[in-house]
Homo-oligomer: A and B are copies of this chain.
C-alpha cells in the first residue's frame, strides 16, 4: 500500500467518554484492534491486503455489524490498490473476486453487503476505465467510516431523549465503539444518556461468546463509565427489583415490519421487559434495515458450533450430549417500544410506522 499521508481514526476522539476505536486507517494499512484478546491485551494488527482483512472478519478480530462493514470497505481499498498495480486495465474483474472473498467472510452481516455495494457504485461511476481507483475508493471507505460515527452521535442524541427519567439502563452484547466505527449504537445512546447524569448502567455477560463480560465492560472501563455486570439469567430478576426502566440493544438485521434479529438473548430480554413494564429500545443504523425482508420469519438464524457451550469431554466418544447454539434470535416488533436510527425514530414499530424512515 502506498503511503497515504494521513491517518483516519474515525471522528473526533475528544470526549472523555469516547476514547476507543476498533479500526484505524493509516499509511501502513488497516489497523484492527484484535477483540479476541480483550480484555487481557490491547493489540492492533496491521493488515495490508484484502485477504488479511477478510481473515480478520472471519476470525472475529473485528465484529459487530457496522464495524464489519467499515472493515470490508477498507478491504476493498487495499484490493483496488493491489489489483490496479498488477493490471491497470482488467483490475475490475480481480476486484470483484476480492469482494466475493470479503462477502464470504461473515455471510449474515447485512452491513457487509451494504458496504460492498457502496464501493461497487464508486467503481461503476469511474468515467475513465484506466483510472487508478485508489483515491476514490479510499475517499468512499473513509466516508462510510465517518458517516457511521456521525450517525452514532445522532442516534445517541435521539435515543437519550427517551431516557431522561430513567435511573437504570440494561444493555446486551457489545454495541459500542468496538462494534462500530466508534461511539456505538445502543451503547452510544447509553453514553449520551450517562453524560447527562443519574443513570446506573447494567451489562449482561452475553453467553456464549461473552461480548458483554469481555468487550462492553472493557470499553466502559476505558471510558470511565461505571457499570455493573450481570449473568444473562439475572436480567429478569433485575427487572423485578425495579432497578431498570429500559433495555437498550443493537440489531444485526431489522425486517421491514420492525422485527429485529439480534444476539441470542435479546428476545428473552424483550419478553421479560414487557412483563415488567420495562421499555425496549433497538438502536441501529439505516443500513441494518433490510427492506426486502418482510418480517422476522424470513430471517435465517445462524447456528454456531456447539463447542462454544460444550466442554471437550462431551464431544464425540459415544457422548449422548449435544448443544443448540443459535447466534441470534428474532424479537417481534410488537415487543419493541422504539427503534432509533440516524434518520429518525419509530415508536411502536410495525409495517406502516417503519415507512416513515423512508421519507
| A234 with B265: CB separation less than 8 A | yes
A230 touches B267 (CB 8 A): no
CB neighbours (8 Å) of A198 from chain B are none
Closest to A335 in B: B275
For A225, list chain B residues within 8 Å (CB).
320
Stretch in contact with the other chain, from A127-135, A182-190, A279-287, A307-315: A307-315
Q: Does A166 contact B (CB under 8 A)?
A: no
Q: In angstroms, how far is the closest chain B Cβ from the Cβ of A268?
A: 4
Chain A positions 26 through 41: 1 when the CB is less than 8 Å from some CB of chain B, otherwise 0? 0000000000000110
A167 interfacial by beta-carbon distance below 8 Å: no
Q: How many copies does the complex hold?
A: 2
Q: A229-B321, A311-B39 are in contact. Are A237 and B267 (CB under 8 A)?
A: yes
Query: What residue in chain B is nearest A212 (Cβ atoms)?
Result: B309
Chain B residues lying within 8 Å of A265, measured Cβ to Cβ, are 231-234
Instruction: Establish whether residues B311 and A226, one from each chain, have CB atoms under 8 Å apart when the complex forms.
Output: no
Contact between chains at B230 and A324 (CB < 8 Å)? yes
**Contact present for B324 and A228 (CB under 8 Å):** yes
A231 contact set on B, CB distance < 8 A:
207-208, 232, 264-265, 309, 325
Given that A221-B314, A231-B207, A237-B329 are contacting pairs, would A320 and B213 also be in contact in the complex, using a CB cutoff of 8 Å?
Answer: no
Q: Which residue of B lies closest to A220 (CB)?
A: B321
Considering the chains assembled together, what is the distance between the CA atoms of A309 and B94 in angstroms?
47
Answer whether residue A300 sits at the interface, using C-beta atoms and an 8 A cutoff.
no
Q: Are B229 and A310 in contact (CB under 8 A)?
A: yes
CA distance A314 to B217 in the complex (A): 8
In chain A, residues 285-344, which have Cβ atoms closer than 8 Å to a Cβ of chain B? 306, 309-311, 313-314, 319-326, 329
Cβ of A60 within 8 Å of any chain B Cβ, yes or no, is no
CB of A237 within 8 A of CB of B326, answer: yes
Residues on B with beta carbons closer than 8 Å to the beta carbon of A264: 231, 233-234, 237
Residues in B with CB closer than 8 Å to A235 are 268
- Please tell me if the beta carbons of B275 and A221 are within 8 angstroms of each other in the complex: no
CB of A238 closer than 8 Å to a CB of B: yes
A and B contact pairs by CB, cutoff 8 A, 26 listed: A39-B311, A39-B313, A204-B233, A205-B309, A213-B309, A213-B311, A214-B311, A224-B320, A226-B320, A228-B322, A229-B310, A230-B323, A230-B325, A231-B232, A232-B233, A233-B264, A233-B265, A233-B268, A234-B264, A234-B265, A234-B268, A234-B326, A235-B268, A240-B329, A271-B275, A272-B272
Across the A-B interface, the 3 shortest Cβ-Cβ residue pairs? A233-B265, A236-B268, A237-B329
